Amino acid sequence: MALLVTDNGEIDSLRNLLNYNQEIPRNLILKLFTTNTYPNESDTPSQTAYYEPYTNNNTLGYGSAPVTGYPAIINNRTDQDYTANYGILLNGNRWTIETLSSAAVTVQGSGTTSEYKITVAASTGIKKGDYVTGGSVGTGAYVVDIDGLDLNLSVKNTGTFSNQSLDFGQGRTTASYPEQTFTFTGAAGDVYGYELVRANNMPITIHGVLDAGTAAAGTTVSKTGIRGTIGNNYFVLATSTNTTTVTGSAGGFDVTVGSTAGLAPYQRVSGTGIAAGARIVGIAGTTVYLDKANTGAVSGNGDFKVEVGEDLTVGMVVSQTATAGVIGGAPNGIDAATIITGIDHDTEDVDGTVHVYLNNVLIDNIQPSNNNDEVQFDFSKVTATAHGLVEGDTVYIDQGTANTTTTAGTYTVFNVIDANSFTTTKALDGTGSLTLYSAIFFAERFTNGPYAIQNAGDQIKVTLNVSLD
């Protein structure tokens, strides 16, 4: 059975999707597209779909600055730079989100008992997912598909009815954004619709440019001291703790340490007078700032727990190496084609705090006493000159012309190695050329479009409405 999302759940979902709560550092960017595209759920960015009005003749314009007046992002954030991107940057908390207490649309409709279909006099304003009441429509029915005036429903009609009033959309939750205007400085061809993407600062020199990126083998991560039991689908990383002297005052959010060697933000801290579960939020000299106030005078030694799994992510390929002389003839506990499927960074396991979950069960024990406790994690990294991305950015990565091994899809930037390379989560696979795009979040074709942009001063105005039901 399908889960029911309550009205409150719909509101919360939209708040998160649209960054209403301002907890995700990335807002959405409103972009226009000049391709003759009818948006579909399976759509992905490509060289032939959803390119923006960079030029005046609807031709592919990736790699060059717009000549149409299509706007560069005006940066209004202090935490990130979006000036290399184009479109209109939206502010998450400017969305108005509410649930309809009455029907959005009321029309006459007919249906036959035990069928999943009804026919309506008009379908304007009816959306997939809208709940339907009236006539002999079954309880809890909602619109599954719309084919002209014929609507497919989620449950059977309980009887035959003709030209009865049917209500659609009560309980629909909608997020609305103030009207946004694109003003052009010259001809831009036909504009067919708009899309919303999660903000990033990928420049036009690589955005959508064929083969502007490359996937290559990354540096293998190796960890020792790992424990795992045959038949389990996880193993435990060895703990690592740095200990140094600490002093501090009750109620303060900082401690003075004897040494900062090995200390880093987000590490857990424990010791006399330090609040349970406290973590490092910053380091300045020998002063370490915490996210919780000290419960008393801080003294003695403090333990700073290293985040031993912070360099691992889902999708990494897992393998094992065994040292010569291993008891039992170098046992290998990792099955072939094993990858990470999940990481629990904070457990109460007596053997450690980080559990790494796998798609395959362990085929032998992994333990230091057998000298087979070293496990390797492999992944691919992306090289793209001056990519402009930061950790947490969302991008769509497509195979390039000479790449048949990388899985195309939407990825999140996991680690920025330098200005020209980064890794992803889930971990990227394969090697070869890549093409990088902003990931499409929402898309809509103009009902009465396309709109021809022919002269300086021509405008397109967009009022955004996103609904859940």
The predicted-structure confidence for 452-462, as pLDDT tens digits, reads as follows 999 999 999 99
Q: Residue-wise over 27-60: b if at least 16 C-beta within 10 A, else e?
A: bbbbbbbbbebebeeeeebbeebbbbbbbbebeb
Confidence of residue 19 (pLDDT cuts 50, 70, 90): confident
- CA dist., res. 233 & res. 227, Å (int): 12
Q: How confident is the model at residue 1 (pLDDT cuts 50, 70, 90)?
A: low
Protein fold of 102-170: Elongation Factor Tu (Ef-tu); domain 3 (2.40.30)
Hey, what are 263's tokens?
A: 């200390």
Q: Where are the domains of the chain?
A: 1-101+171-218+379-469, 102-170, 241-305
| pTM given for the model | 0.81
Asked if residue 323 has pLDDT above 60, the reply is: no
Distance CA 421, CA 215 (A): 10
**Is the predicted pLDDT of residue 324 greater than 80, yes or no?**
no
Q: What is the mean pLDDT of residues 247-266?
A: 94
* Tokens representing residue 297 in the block: 């005078």
Residue 194: closest CA among 45, 391, 1, 50: 50
CA 82 to CA 103: how far, in whole Å?
Answer: 40
Is the confidence at residue 181, as pLDDT, over 90? Answer: yes
* Tens-digit pLDDT profile for residues 126-180: 988 788 999 999 998 988 888 999 999 989 999 999 999 999 988 888 889 999 9
Q: Is the pLDDT of residue 367 over 80?
A: yes
Question: pLDDT category, 185, cuts 50, 70, 90?
Answer: very high
Q: What are phi and psi of 235, to 5 degrees?
A: -135, 170
Q: Which residue do the tokens 């717009």 mark?
A: 66
The pLDDT of residue 123: 93
- Check residue 412 and give its pLDDT: 95
The residue count of the chain comes to 469
Percent of the chain with pLDDT over 70: 96
Interval 252-263 mean pLDDT: 94
pLDDT for 105 beyond 50 = yes
**Is residue 425 predicted with pLDDT exceeding 90?**
yes
CA distances from 194 to 36, 51, 239, 309, 404 (A): 12, 10, 49, 40, 31
CB 433 within 8 A of CB 403: yes
What the block records as the tokens of 8 is: 């409150």
469 falls in which pLDDT band (50, 70, 90)? low
Residues 286, 283: Cα–Cα separation, whole Å:
7
Q: CA-to-CA distance for 381 and 215, rounded, in angstroms? A: 6
What are the phi and psi torsion angles at 145 (to 5°)?
-155, 155
Q: What value does the mean pLDDT of the chain take? A: 90
Question: Is it the case that residue 69 has pLDDT exceeding 90?
Answer: yes
Q: Render pLDDT for 197-254 as a digit per residue (tens, 0 to 9).
A: 999 999 999 999 999 999 999 989 999 889 999 999 999 998 888 999 999 999 999 9
Tokens of 166: 């049917």
Q: Tokens 């030209």 correspond to what residue?
A: 163
Assess contact for 310 and 335: CB atoms under 8 A: no
Contact criterion met (CB below 8 Å) for 294 and 253: yes
Between residues 411 and 368, the one the model is more confident about: 411
Q: What is the model's pLDDT at position 371? A: 78
* Nearest alpha carbon to residue 331 among 228, 261, 257, 207: 228
Q: What distance lies between CA 395 and its chain's CA centroid?
A: 9
The whole-number pLDDT of residue 322 equals 54
Q: What is the radius of gyration, based on Cα positions, of the chain?
A: 28
Residue 350: what pLDDT? Answer: 56
Whether the per-residue pLDDT at 284 is higher than 50: the answer is yes
Percent of the chain with pLDDT over 90: 66
Strands, E, within 205-359: which ranges? Answer: 213-217, 221-223, 234-236, 241-247, 254-257, 268-272, 280-284, 287-290, 299-305, 317-321, 338-344, 355-358
Position 346 pLDDT exceeds 90: no
- pLDDT, mean of residues 41-60: 89
Rounded mean pLDDT, 84-104: 90
Which residue has tokens 């064929």? 210
C-beta separation of 124 from 138 below 8 A: no
Sign of the Cα pseudo-torsion (390, 395, 399, 401, in order)? negative
292 phi/psi in degrees, rounded to 5: -130, 145
Give the residue with greater pLDDT, 469 vs 303. Answer: 303
pLDDT at 20 > cutoff 50: yes
The pLDDT score that the predictor gives to residue 318 is: 95
Dihedral through CA 105, CA 106, CA 107, CA 111, nearest 10? 100
Amino acid at 423: T
List all residues 6 or more positions away from 120 whose beta carbon is below 8 Å from its beta carbon.
107, 108, 109, 126, 149, 151, 166
325, pLDDT greater than 50: no
For residue 118, name the pLDDT band (cuts at 50, 70, 90): very high
